[in-house]
Amino acid sequence: MTAVVPLHPEPTGRISELRWRVPAGLLPFTGPVAGVRGALGQLLLDGTVETLLVEPAAVVTVLGPGHGWRGDGARVRSALQAALAEPAGWRPGPGCTPLTSDQALLWAAEEVVRGRLGDFVRSHGGSLTVLGADGGVVEVAMAGACDGCRTAGFTLHSRFEQELRRRCPWLDGVRAVPAAGRAQDSDSPREARAWA
Amino acid sequence: MNASCHGPGGGDTLAPGVPRVALLGNPNAGKTSLFNRLTGLRAKTGNYPGVTVARHVGSCEVGAVRFTVEDLPGTYSLEPISPDEEVVLDVLDGTIPGVPRPDVLAVVLDATTIRRSLRFLTQVLEKALPTCVVVTFTDELARRGGSLDVPALERALGVPVACVVAHRRGGHDELAAQLARWQEWPEPLLAPPTEGVEQSAWVESVLAAADYSAPHQDRVTGAVDAVLLHPLWGTLTFFAVMALFFQAIFVVAAPLQGYVESLFGWLGGLVADHVGPAWLASLLGDAVIGGIGGVLVFVPQIMLLFLLLALLEASGYLARAAFLMDRVMSTFGLEGRAFVALLSSFACAVPGIMATRSLPSARDRIATMMGAPLMTCSARLPVYVTLIGILVPRDSRVGPLGVQGLVMFGLYLLGAVSAMLTAALFKRIADRGAEPMPFYLELPTYRLPVPRSVLLAMWEPSKAFLRKCTTVILGTTLVLWMLLNLPLAGAAELRSAGLDPGDPADAAAVSAYVVEHSVAADLGRAVGPVFDPLGFDWRVNVAVLSSFGARETFVATLSQVDSAQQGATAAEDEPPGSDLGLSAGVVAALLVFYVYALQCVATMAAIRRETGSWRWPAVAWGYMFVLAWTMALLARTVTGWWAG
């Protein structure tokens, strides 16, 4: 018995639909699901669940006609919970793309930028852009007010990296890449002005 | 605006159509400060019909929208194990007659313990009522190195989330505005799972989505607790805190008490100078001003007692005291929960008896109820202060500590030890060999008390004390005045006793004669055989008898008897009764009698309500009277040896 997979639903705006947040990269593909081993597969077969769609850190379930969350929601949740414990039992449907661990990392990094941390950086006149992920290392560019800011390194490593690692425990590290046309170490002239 | 809307109203006088918001949450989650903030001073306290669980209802207005706010008892779960928690469930289900189901729920979650609170939230969301979440203590979370993304939490929960910080104004207005829009709140499509691994999965997932990181142990709390929970240092500190507590009650309140005294002295002077008929002057001067004034003098002390208690509780120290005492309690075969009930009885036995409802076992409840009235309640305070004032000179000291405060501390200690021994004894009689239930007590982080809540905690009981003064005590005092002045002595009777009713020089002697031959004196003498061994004379007997309704009446009666005896020439600046010539032995006996006797109608009524029959109040009254009499005799005898 492995540890239980964290799972909770969020509304999507459509009444028959729920987006279930699951750990990033848990399922090795994104796109529509053709079939699942166990109870969830049954629900898909009998039409309780009309569509099952995998996103990088979520599973979207759409209920079939005549079904509602009040009556069927608990069954869907239990079946999904059980199915997530066994990622190998998920069969990708047509049009699915495989999700590598680097792609999951990239997606999660972008989510962090869209969230509270990105807001914080933007509110200080800075900007944080995810450039890519390779071999477990995420590359970001910090620009605007971040450029030359003495706390940029702290924000990157103590906050960005920490929040990302909570989502993707396999993260190796975060690297700041100089924004186009600027020196990577822009410390001396700006700092000199700041201290003057 | 209908004024009755602010009342709790058992049958609910609340205007129809006014939405009802219920506040729910774990104990210590900041629910009560939030309630106080939302409702201001317009809240009323009452009881839920049929049970003695306190009910707090107030109202709040945002623009044109008005709603009532109800502060439900703090609870850790909606699977009730105690009557307190049962009330919360019953209110949510709308099964209490006269208490309509709330329209809106606001669940208060302490950000520092949110993992546990989310489990509670799942049970609340299952009720499918419009719900919002109020996150508190985010400032403390940040200070202790934790973090929580509130907008992300709101997305994950699917219900509105507001954030309030107790010490700052911020957040409360937004919350009120949010509540006013309750009809637009989204309803979660699917309620979260309420048990098992699915619940754990949900909680972990929500916390991950909200980027939650748990706070580290508060450094201050950790360091302070290393001392305060230490078996030796902690116990020493506990006794030191308690000793200081009672010193403060004497030292700080004394000057304030002086002001109240001089106010009533001045009023008494006015009556003596300006009220014509002698009988009316005596009624107003002796009964109303002397009697009520004699008790009202203790308002500063009562307020101080509740202020200090509220500060100790709000800061988190009281929970530590209960934790320390749990070790002591277990040697008596009682659990820590019983100590919490006994501790509440320091203020008043009635809330203490109500607090027994946190005890799951009925036998433990009875045992604790039998002990609770022995804890020194605030009604004993005036009696103790008066009698200690007679027994111990104000300036006598042992080192830096006043002897008066030490004697007071000793009496509190005597009451507490007796309460525990009694509870243990009743428990032993009730059940033998039963396993104690597990005891969990939350030790909250030390927090700066919220001034508003502390002041309210001081004001509510003080108000109740004032009400008691103007109803029960005033009534008893008036009846007593009549008993002390009837039958009227005719001029012929007075002359035959060698007194001249027309001669002002004889006025004191006349009034003494009337009192000596009054109905009250007859009553006092009639119970003489019971109290003679304790050295009480008829005047003390009258005071003791009058105080069986409420202890404080003792002081009022004593000052009335005293002034009647003196013929309204009672010396100023002396405690009432100091001219009665009571020996040290008798005063000691009286003090001990008041430690043990059950002289409180409210307590008896509370025991009756909680146990459902008059049997237990009768048992409590009986055993306490026998104990009081015996211990008083012992005290008199021992003091007699020691003094003579």
Q: What are phi and psi of B581, to 5 degrees?
A: 65, 35
pLDDT tier at B125, thresholds 50, 70, 90: very high
Give the separation between CA B180 and CA B160, rounded to whole angstroms: 12
- Sequence spans of domains, chain B: 3-216, 226-254+302-430, 464-582
Higher pLDDT, B130 or B584: B130
How far does the CA of residue A48 sit from the closest CA of chain B (Å)?
15
In angstroms, the CA B68 to CA B179 distance is 11
Residues with Cβ within 8 Å of B2's Cβ and at least 6 positions away in sequence, in order, are B13, B15
Does A69 lie at the interface with B, CB-CB under 8 angstroms? yes
B174-209, pLDDT tens digit by residue?
888 888 888 888 888 899 998 889 999 999 999 998
Distance, in Å, from the CA atom of B576 to the CA atom of B582, rounded to the nearest integer, reads 12
pTM for the complete prediction? 0.68
Query: Which one of A8, A19, A72 would you mutate to disrupt binding with B, by most B Cβ within 10 Å of its Cβ?
Result: A8
Residues 6+ apart with CB under 8 A from B544: B531, B536, B554, B590, B593
Alpha helices in A18-86 (DSSP H): 39-45, 69-84
Name the pLDDT band for B250 (thresholds 50, 70, 90).
Answer: low
- Interface check A77 vs B, CB under 8 A: yes
Instruction: In chain A, list all ranges with CATH 3.30.300.130.
Output: 101-187
pLDDT at residue B579, rounded to an integer: 60
- CB-CB neighbours of B199 under 10 Å: 17
Q: Do B149 and A8 touch (CB under 8 A)?
A: no
Mean model confidence pLDDT for chain B? 79
> Is the pLDDT confidence value at A52 over 60?
yes
Identify which of A65, A47, A62 has the alpha carbon closest to the alpha carbon of residue A9.
Answer: A62
Give residue B130's pLDDT band: very low, low, confident or very high (50, 70, 90).
Answer: very high
Indicate whether B578 pLDDT > 80: no
pLDDT, residue A49, reads 93
Residue B146, pLDDT score = 87
CATH H-level superfamily of B3-216: P-loop containing nucleotide triphosphate hydrolases (3.40.50.300)
In angstroms, rounded to a whole number, what is the distance separating the alpha carbons of residues B545 and B554?
8
The one-character DSSP state at B286 is I
Give B78-103 pLDDT, tens digit per residue.
887 666 778 888 889 888 887 888 99
The pLDDT score that the predictor gives to residue A127 is: 83
pLDDT at B592: 92
- What is residue A185's predicted lDDT score, i.e. its pLDDT? 43
CB contact under 8 A, B193 and A10: no
Q: Collect all residues of chain A within an 8 Å Cβ-Cβ radius of residue B153.
A: none
Q: Do A116 and B202 touch (CB under 8 A)?
A: no
B490 pLDDT higher than 60: yes
What pLDDT does B121 receive? 94
Q: What are B561-575's pLDDT values in tens digits?
A: 776 665 444 444 555
- Give, in order, the Cα–Cα distances in Å from A165 to each of A133, A159, A161, B156, B473: 13, 10, 6, 20, 69
Name the token pair of B22.
Answer: 């219920």
CB pairs under 8 A between A and B: 68
Which range in A132-141, B377-386, B456-465 is most confidently predicted, on average pLDDT?
A132-141
Q: Cβ B151–A116 below 8 Å, yes or no? A: yes
Query: What is the third-level CATH fold of A8-98?
Result: Ribosomal Protein S8; Chain: A, domain 1 (3.30.1370)
Instruction: Indicate where chain A has its CATH 3.30.1370 domain(s).
Output: 8-98
CB atoms A10 and B198 under 8 Å:
no
What CATH number has the domain spanning A101-187? 3.30.300.130
pLDDT tens column, A105-126: 998 899 888 888 888 888 888 8
DSSP B318-366: HHHHHHHHHHHHHHTT--HHHHHHHHHTTT-HHHHHHHGGG-S-HHHHH
- pLDDT tens-digit profile of B36-74? 888 876 666 666 665 556 678 888 887 778 888 998 888
CB contact under 8 A, B156 and A81: no
Which residue does chain A place closest to B149, by CA atoms? A116
In B, minimum Cα distance to A9 occurs at B156
Q: Do A10 and B186 touch (CB under 8 A)?
A: no
Helix (H) or strand (E) holding B44: strand B44-47
Give the mean pLDDT of B251-275: 80
For residues B106 and B92, give the distance between their C-alpha atoms in angstroms, rounded to a whole number. Answer: 12
